[in-house]
Amino acid sequence: MFVPMEVITDIHKFTPIPCAATVGSFDGVHLGHCSMLEELRAKAAERGLPVMVVTFARHPRLLFGTVNEPFLLSSNDEKAALLESLGVDYCVLLDFDASMASMTAERFMGEVLAKQLGVKLLCVGYDHRFGKPQAGEGFEQYAEYGKVLGMELFKALPYVAGDVAVSSSKVRRALAGGDIALANSLLGHDYSFAGTVVHGAGIGRSLGFPTANILLHDDMKLLPADGVYDVSVSCMGGNYKGVMNIGVKPTIGENLVRTVEVHVIGFSGDIYDKEIVVFPVRRLRGEMGFESVDALRRQIEADVELVKRGI
């Protein structure tokens, strides 16, 4: 019988339970994460322990104010859904603040993992560090801390696709280059982003191709490189093909504000204020400037035809 994953947002209200856990941002829940969790599940099953992922309600990079551009691969809801699909029993969303950032690994393992969560088996990523950095500290030292706490540790193996060790940063680089196929192959699932349909300037409608202007649910969610994309769209209970433009509309834009617009092929209903989920399939071309509105219209017609025919 399927048992839903429990999401824990306040560890102070959680009753500790002996468990097997791992700690990390798990942004995107890519194939490297999947491999780690597969190792953890196997070792947990041998010991009769449930599996717990300890992650963060907001990415640690956001705490220090050094990030100005969107970079997140997954929202908390998306991350939780992916983790549940991988057989995780508990997902802990820690409130990562300045106090937690100041904790040493030894203190974090003792006060949070052992005392408040009940961790007995801890999986550490092959290149992962946690806690306030201490000179010379790494897996060997973590293992020593674990012995004192009655916590067994093991180091996960790197997951290599081809000759590439899969990481969130490599997924981000693929998206930044508009390489959707590579990003999806590293993730092991289709990248997507969600938002609400808002009113735009009506330019697409005037060209004969009405578009859904999308306000992202999370403004730190990473979008692919500017350009025109073949996409799959989920909205109002249906799934559709579409053509998406990300960019500043150089031919007719006035303020050069970056927008996300999707022409949903075969859809004619009112979707203002409705949620829409977009799955980029492939980048058709970069964003271009045209000598006239008619030239732009002809290019959009060609883009839509490509998507319809699956070319």
Domains of the chain (ranges, CATH numbers): 6-165 (3.40.50.620), 192-309 (2.40.30.30)
Indicate the range of 104-113, 126-135, 259-268 predicted with least confidence: 126-135
The pLDDT tens digits of the residues spanning 98-107 come to 888 899 999 9
Residue 296 neighbours by CB distance under 10 Å? 19
What is the mean pLDDT of the segment spanning 278-297?
89
pLDDT reported for residue 222: 97
Flag whether pLDDT at 254 surpasses 60: no
Of all residues in the chain, the percent with pLDDT exceeding 90 is 69
pTM: 0.90
pLDDT reported for residue 99: 87
Flag whether pLDDT at 85 surpasses 80: yes
The pLDDT tens digits of the residues spanning 171-220 come to 999 999 999 999 999 999 999 999 999 987 777 777 778 899 999 999 99
Higher-pLDDT residue of 230 and 1 is 230
φ, ψ of residue 193 in degrees (nearest 5): -145, 150
φ, ψ of residue 144 in degrees (nearest 5): -65, -40
Give the alpha-carbon dihedral of 85, 86, 92, 96, to 10 degrees: -100
How many helices (H) and strands (E) in the chain? Answer: 10, 14
